[in-house]
């Protein structure tokens, strides 16, 4: 669950940041008032710490709160991913199942092994 939430929040922020960069650079010239938008967009492409680093550059309190909230969401989901991974590694029953994927010329291979 942590990986899914982290991936969705990071990809969502990445798409917004890339769209913002595309809009700013549309005419090929970055105006002085657009420099902070470019910096914020680049920082938002960095997972977990990017939203916290871009919060001081925001123009309003609402934007700052949104960046901090977005960073908190990514931080909580990343910590959930790490905690879940540690719990799965410690679980002896989970080691009985093995899932492997491999690409091949004619298609992909997915293998599931279980020990009883």
Query: pLDDT tens-digit profile of 59-72?
Result: 899 999 999 999 99
**pTM value surpassing 0.75:** no
The C-alpha angle with vertex 27 and arms to 23 and 28, in degrees rounded to 5, equals: 100
Strand partners, 114: 97
User: What pLDDT is stored for residue 94 in this prediction?
Assistant: 62
The shares of helix, strand and coil residues in the chain, as percent rounded to the nearest 5, are: 65, 15, 20
Task: Check residue 95 and give its pLDDT.
Answer: 66
Q: What is the pLDDT of residues 17-49, one digit of tens each?
A: 999 888 887 877 788 878 888 899 999 999 999
Contact 66, 52 (CB under 8 A): no
């Amino acid at each position: 669950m942590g990986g899914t939430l982290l991936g969705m929040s990071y990809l969502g922020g990445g798409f917004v940041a890339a769209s913002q960069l595309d809009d700013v650079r549309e005419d090929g010239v970055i105006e002085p008032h657009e420099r902070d938008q470019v910096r914020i967009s680049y920082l938002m492409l960095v997972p977990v710490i990017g939203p916290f680093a871009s919060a001081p550059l925001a123009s309003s309190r609402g934007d700052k709160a949104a960046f901090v909230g977005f960073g908190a969401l990514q931080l909580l989901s990343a910590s959930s991913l790490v905690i879940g991974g540690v719990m799965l590694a410690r679980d002896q029953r989970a080691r009985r199942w093995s899932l492997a994927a491999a690409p091949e010329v004619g298609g992909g291979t997915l293998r599931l092994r279980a020990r009883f």
